[in-house]
Structure formats: structure tokens, C-alpha cells
Amino acid sequence: MYEGFWYHPMYGLEGTLFAKDHFQAHPTDVFLTSPPKCGTTWLKALIFAIVKRTCHTNCTNHPLLAMNPHDCVPFLEFNFFVAPPSRVVDNSPSPRLLATHIPYTSLPESVLISNCKIIYICRNPKDVLVSTWYFMAKLRANHELPPLSLEEAFELFSKGISGYGPFWDHVLGYWKASQELPHQIYFLTYEEMTRDTLVRVKSLAEFLGQPFTLEEERKGVVEEIIDLCSFDGLRNLEVNKSGSYWKGVKNDGFFRKGKVGDWKNHLTTQMIESLDKITNEKLQGIF
């Protein structure tokens, strides 16, 4: 645990500490932030497609057709852990797109003072628990660890013990910051993105200072981006069916079901009531 949040000692914490000491944010950087399993992959794809749309007009050559979104938008803390930082982020063209699961209070100071844009996505904790449980089962199998039962996963998650958890504190940190700095921090939920994808994509482009022109809207550029980044669109690409990300994590693990409310198929009444109680106490009105 570091500054009130749980980390994987190597893949999370070492990179976070290194980034705190060495990362220099630029005012033009865009940070995609989230707790794990909240739609990071989707957000990465959408923001990459929105921001780079002028360089990648020819859709048959679009990088997202050949690269997993996590290879298009690197995670700050993982890349600082595995490679010298200058190689990974310093050479990227502006605006640099970066992602992180680091909680707001532990972000490198240069991110906070640089005025760079931050987009935060979170999700109903009941779906986060289910999504995490499936994802962790794959990771645990890679490390030859037995799967956790859903009951065990629920107990840990409820106590705040999850990657970059407590989940609720993670959300609250970014929520409060977004209320104080609405021009710098865009707060979004997976549910809102699912319900109003077109509206959200347009408002994200505006927030980033790259609104769609009337001409682009007329040509259907917004819909093209949404289709390209859709769950089925990405999941069915060869790179995401058979490619690997890092440490044996297969790209297909990032695309499970892509629905709101799958918790209804998994959680008991007692689990639902218990999670709702914590959410109502800590995050009333956000979900």
C-alpha cells in the first residue's frame, strides 16, 4: 500500500515511484486515467482515433487496425518500469497520449502543475468487480496460481483490496478534482459512454480542443471513429484475437463482454446490497 492505495509491487508501484521522480509532463499532454477494468481500452482507442484523425485519414492504414489500443497509448507506470522513460514517452509527437491507473493524489507533481488535460473513466463497481474477477483469473493462470472464487474476490474488493484500490477512493479523488478543475479534468463513466457514445465522443473532442468540424460531421467521421473503436470492431481484429500485450497477457483478454450490467448474472443479493451500500455512502449520485 502506498499513499492509501494498493499496488502490484513491481508493475504498479515501482513505475509509479519512478514516474513521480522523473516524469516531466508537457502542457499539451493528454492523460487517460482510470481504475482498472473500467473501459480504459475503449477510451484509449477513442481518444487516439479522435486526436490523430488528421494524420490517419486513410482508414485501411489506421494504426488501430494493426495495434492493440494499449500499444497506441502507453501506460505511464508500466513503461517507466520496463524501459528508460526517454525512449517511451519523450520522443512521442505532441500531443503525447498517455494513460495511467495512478490515483489522483499520487500523480507525478509535474502532471498536476502542467495544466495538461486529464480524462478519467470509471464504472459501476459491481461491473468492475465482475470484470476484474474474470481478468484476474487469466492473469493468475499465467502465473500458475489457482483462480479466486467470486466470493473471495468480492471480500477483497469490498475491503478496498484491488489494483489501485480502494476503488471508491480512486473515483472520489478524480471526482473532486474534476469539480475543482473542470477545464482540466473530464470525468466520465463507462455507462455514460455506452448510453450516449456520439454525444460523448463529440464532447471529448471539444474538451481536447479538437472539435469535429461541420464538414467532418457531414462526412460521418464521428460515426466512423465510433465504429472503429466499438467492442465488436476491435475484438474481431486479428491483432486483438491472437496478439499479446505484455507479460503473456493476451490482447483478447481486454475484450470480454463489453456490456453494462453483467453483474446481474453473477452477484448474489447480499453482494449487491453490500456493494451498493458502500457506493451510496462514498459516491452518492455518481452512479
- Interface ranges with ligand A3P (CB under 6 A): 34, 36-42, 127, 131, 134, 229-231, 234, 254-258, 262
Q: Which is nearer to ligand A3P, 37 or 117 (CB)?
A: 37
CB of 152 to ligand A3P, least distance (A): 18
Catalytic residue among 62, 101, 143, 170: 101
The three cell numbers locating residue 171: 473515483
Q: Name 72's Cβ contacts closer than 8 Å, sequence gap at least 6.
A: 44, 45, 48, 63, 64, 97
Q: Which is nearer to ligand A3P, 115 or 260 (CB)?
A: 260
CB of 266 to ligand A3P, least distance (A): 10
Q: Which is nearer to ligand A3P, 42 or 168 (CB)?
A: 42
Q: Which is nearer to ligand A3P, 126 or 218 (CB)?
A: 126
Distance CA 270, CA 272 (A): 5
62 is catalytic: no
Q: Which helix (H) or strand (E) holds 15?
A: helix 15-22
Give Cα separations from 146 to 130, 152, 167 (angstroms). Answer: 17, 12, 24
**Burial of residue 121 (number of CB atoms within 10 Å: 0-12, 13-18, 19+):** buried
Helix residue ranges per DSSP H, 181-287 = 190-195, 197-207, 214-219, 221-228, 231-235, 238-242, 269-283
CB of 99 to ligand A3P, least distance (A): 9
Q: Which is nearer to ligand A3P, 94 or 149 (CB)?
A: 149
CB of 74 to ligand A3P, least distance (A): 14
Is 38 in contact with 53 (CB distance < 8 Å)?
A: no
One-letter amino acid identity for 246?
W
Q: Which is nearer to ligand A3P, 86 or 251 (CB)?
A: 251
CB of 254 to ligand A3P, least distance (A): 5
CB of 135 to ligand A3P, least distance (A): 7
Distance CA 137, CA 123 (A): 20
Distance CA 210, CA 170 (A): 28
Distance CA 110, CA 181 (A): 16
Q: Which residues are catalytically annotated?
A: 101
